[in-house]
Structure formats: structure tokens, C-alpha cells
Chains A and B, each alone.
Chain A
Amino acid sequence: MKNWPLWEVFIRSKNGLHHKHVGSLHATDEEMALQNARDVYTRRSEGVSIWVVESKHITASNPEESGELFEPAQDKVYRHPTFYELPNELEHI
């Protein structure tokens, strides 16, 4: 049997918060994906909003390229507030 497509599920737990990835499921189409996500992932009022995205539409970075992607940020300490030396008695800054 041919597998039903895979869907990634994102839930917003409460208005004001981002949708967060909670897992995935198989479904024939978006409608079934939403219904199943509701049954599987929000049985205990975990959410107020659901997004489903077919997994094949997600482009992910390659873990083998993590070095070249993320290391360049590590030596840029000047992007952080603590890099700037201000006297302690100074307030609200």
C-alpha cells in the first residue's frame, strides 16, 4: 500500500504565543491532517490553533553544514550587550 503523505503539526497553546512544532502524522489531505492533529495532539486542551504543513514542503538545513552555518555567529561577541563596558552605577541602560 502506498503511504499517505506525512504532515508536520504545529500548535499554538494560547493566543499570544507562537505555533510550536509538536510532531507529525499521516493523512490523505490537509483536511484529514487537521482533524487528526486535533484528535492526536489537542485532546487535553493543548491548543487554540493548529497548523499542518506537508513535510515535503519543509526545507531543512543539513546537520553536516552546521559548522559553516552557525559558527560564524560565535565570535561576534559585539552583537551582545555585555560586550560594552559601562559602569555599574549607571541605570536603565
Chain B
Amino acid sequence: MDNIKSLEENFQAKVDAEIKIEAKDWMPEKYRKTLIRQISQHAHSEIVGMLPEGNWITRAPNLRRKVALLAKVQDEAGHGLYLYSAAETLGAERDQLFQDLNSGKAKYSSIFNYPTLTWADIGAVGWLVDGAAIMNQVMLTRTSYGPYARAMVKICKEESFHQRQGYEIMLTLAKGTPEQKAMAQDALNRWWWPSLMMFGPSDKESTHSAQSMKWKIKRKSNDELRQQFVDISIPQAEFLGLTIPDKDLKWNEERGHYDFGAIDWEEFWNVVKGNGICNKARLKARNKAYNEGKWVREAAMAYAEKQSYIKHNQMSSNKATG
């Protein structure tokens, strides 16, 4: 008992002193579990996040937009991989993580349960969804767990083009014909609130937050990050000449921040619970990809086994004749 207590004190002292925790270091079981849950959810979000954008690859308006979108979606697959690997350093098993995603047991970011209805949505997703993700991920480059922090550094470097390509799409549409501008406005209208929800429940409601802050897994609260995102995004929307769909939006001189309207948390929880527009389609797509890829995984394994069998036989016949 005393032993565990001193281990825990030691651990917290390291965290407080900004010494990163590495895979083989002692850590409280709850720290390990929290990280596995958070990192795997993050990985799942990268993977499911490919679906709404993948939807537009074949219909991108020109080759330049198409290669950019392809490159972005390809990056997201890579991000999923970095994160699954980070989760594995904590003892998680890759295939189990896939099972949990496919069965619906594991969560991923609810934003990806919204549909991408028009080309402008690809602009709005890059600008706002990747923008919100970057805000969270920049914070996580300083998270206390070394492998997670390092994965975040790599991811953040790659994310920057994602947001820029999205904003460039928005800018082009906003400067285009009235129809194009209306399309951009419509995308902003639909993506704004779900983007604010990406930061999670408000601090008052968020159950894991306090412990995660103490362990320095997180370094800013959900509400702090959300405020930061609002403050940064408003001038960007103004530059586009588009209107953020929030009549309560107002600069607050005293706070030095924008005030913004109430978030519809009922909608948020409803989507988390599986009742969003695309929850079923997303899981179906992931299960289909997993199941239809089964023969490829098996064939690759069978080929590797056969090769090593041939090599082994050659070696023993060389010995016999030599």
C-alpha cells in the first residue's frame, strides 16, 4: 500500500517537474487506461475522419483540388497509424482497437457524423474542423506522455496544410459567383456549431478533465480551447465576408474575448449516443473496409509464411549438400 503511494507521489512529482513519462516508466493504472482511451479515440477519429472527405475526392472541381484532397486524406490515415502505435506502447492491441471501433464500443470525434453535402463542405471542414483539431493537438504536443507528445509534433507539422487548403477553397468560393458565396455561407452555417462542440462538454460537465489536467495529459480546459478557437476564427470569417451563424457573438472588451451563444448540448449528446445523421453509415463503412480487407491481410500473411518456409528449406538443403 505504502509502496504504491510513494510510487504515485513520485510519478506526480515527475509530471509536476515537466519530466515526460515514457513507456517503460512506472505509471498509475488509471493514467495508462485514460491514455489508451484518449489516444485510441483520437486514432479512430483520424480514420473515420477520412470518410466525409473521401466522399468528395472523385468529384473535386479540378486536378489541383483533387491532389490536395487526396494528400490530406492520405495524411489522416498516417495520423491514425502514428496514434495507434502510441497506444500500443501502453500495451493496447491493434486488432482489439479496431474491433472496438467497428463494434461501436469505442468513440470517435462526433464531428465526423455530419455529412459533407457540397464541395464547400470540404473547404469548411479543412478550415474549421482541422482548425479546431489543430488547436487541441498543439496543446497535446506538450502532453505528459512522451510517445503521444512526439506523435503530436509530427501530426501538427502535417496538419498545417490541411487547414490552409480548406481556407483556400472557402476564399475562392467567397470571392466567386453569388451562388458560390451562398454555398460557402451554407457550409459555414452547418459546420460552425459542430466545430465548437469538438472541444467537448463544458468544463462544468466534463468528468475526466480535472484528473487529466493534474496528470498534464491535458493542459487547457475544453472551454479555454473553445474560446481560443472562437477568437481566432471570427476575423478569418470576416476576411471571407461570411457571417458566423451566432447572433450573440460580440466582442467583450472587459474579458478580452468574444462572447458567443449557447451551445446545443442536447444535439451533442444525441450524436455521441449514435443518433447523428451519419453514425450508422460511418460504422458500416469501417466494417465493410475491415471485412473486405480480410483476404488481403490473410494473403499477405500466407505469402510471408511461404517465403520463410522456402528460405528455411533452401538453408537446410544447402547444409545437406554442402
Nearest-neighbor residue (CB-CB) of A92 within chain B: B232
With both chains docked as a complex, state the minimum distance between the C-beta of B207 and any C-beta of chain A, in angstroms.
28
Do residues A18 and B235 form an inter-chain contact, with CB atoms below 8 A?
no
Within 8 A of B (CB), among A47-93: 49, 76, 78-81, 83-87, 89-93
A91-B232 contact in complex given A12-B22, A79-B71, A86-B167, C-beta closer than 8 Å: yes
- Using Cβ atoms and an 8 Å threshold, which residues of chain B touch A45? none
A86-B71 contact in complex given A15-B19, A49-B22, C-beta closer than 8 Å: no
- Using Cβ atoms and an 8 Å threshold, which residues of chain B touch A15? 19-22, 25, 146
With both chains docked as a complex, state the minimum distance between the C-beta of A60 and any C-beta of chain B, in angstroms.
19
With both chains docked as a complex, state the minimum distance between the C-beta of A91 and any C-beta of chain B, in angstroms.
7
- Using Cβ atoms and an 8 Å threshold, which residues of chain B touch A12? 22
Q: Is B259 an interface residue (CB 8 A)?
A: no
Residue from B146, B163, B168, B235 in contact with A16 in the complex, judged by beta carbons closer than 8 Å: B146
- Using Cβ atoms and an 8 Å threshold, which residues of chain A touch B239? 87, 89-90
Q: Mark B49-84, 1 if CB is under 8 A from A, else 0.
A: 000000000000000100110010001000000000
Do residues A18 and B236 form an inter-chain contact, with CB atoms below 8 A?
no
Within 8 A of A (CB), among B150-165: 150, 160-161, 163-165
- Using Cβ atoms and an 8 Å threshold, which residues of chain B touch A87? 239
Q: Is B217 an interface residue (CB 8 A)?
A: no
Q: In whole angstroms, how far apart are the Cα atoms of A81 and B156 in the complex?
A: 12
Q: Is B111 an interface residue (CB 8 A)?
A: no
What is the size, in residues, of chain B's interface with A at 8 Å between Cβ atoms? Answer: 27
Q: In whole angstroms, how far apart are the Cα atoms of A76 and B131 in the complex?
A: 23
Q: In whole angstroms, how far apart are the Cα atoms of A81 and B62 in the complex?
A: 19
With both chains docked as a complex, state the minimum distance between the C-beta of A18 and any C-beta of chain B, in angstroms.
6
With both chains docked as a complex, state the minimum distance between the C-beta of B88 and any C-beta of chain A, in angstroms.
16
With both chains docked as a complex, state the minimum distance between the C-beta of A9 and any C-beta of chain B, in angstroms.
17
Q: In whole angstroms, how far apart are the Cα atoms of A13 and B48 in the complex?
A: 36
Within 8 A of A (CB), among B139-177: 146, 149-150, 160-161, 163-165, 167-168, 171
- Using Cβ atoms and an 8 Å threshold, which residues of chain A touch B164? 81, 84, 86, 93
Q: Mark B293-311, 1 if CB is under 8 A from A, else 0.
A: 0000000000000000000
Within 8 A of A (CB), among B1-59: 19-22, 24-25
Q: In whole angstroms, how far apart are the Cα atoms of A92 and B130 in the complex?
A: 13
Do residues A86 and B232 form an inter-chain contact, with CB atoms below 8 A?
no
- Using Cβ atoms and an 8 Å threshold, which residues of chain A touch B160? 81
A93-B71 contact in complex given A15-B20, A16-B146, A84-B161, C-beta closer than 8 Å: no
Q: In whole angstroms, how far apart are the Cα atoms of A86 and B239 in the complex?
A: 11
Extra pairs beyond A16-B19, A92-B232 (17, CB < 8 Å): A15-B19, A15-B21, A15-B22, A16-B149, A76-B67, A76-B71, A78-B71, A78-B161, A79-B71, A81-B160, A81-B161, A83-B68, A84-B165, A86-B168, A87-B239, A91-B232, A93-B164
Jot down 24 A-B pairs with beta carbons below 8 A, ordered by A: A12-B22, A15-B20, A15-B22, A15-B146, A16-B19, A16-B149, A49-B24, A78-B67, A78-B68, A78-B161, A81-B160, A81-B161, A83-B161, A84-B161, A84-B164, A85-B168, A86-B168, A87-B239, A89-B239, A90-B239, A91-B235, A92-B232, A93-B163, A93-B167
User: Sorted from nearest, which 6 A-B pairs have the closest CB atoms?
Assistant: A16-B20, A84-B164, A15-B20, A81-B160, A81-B161, A92-B232
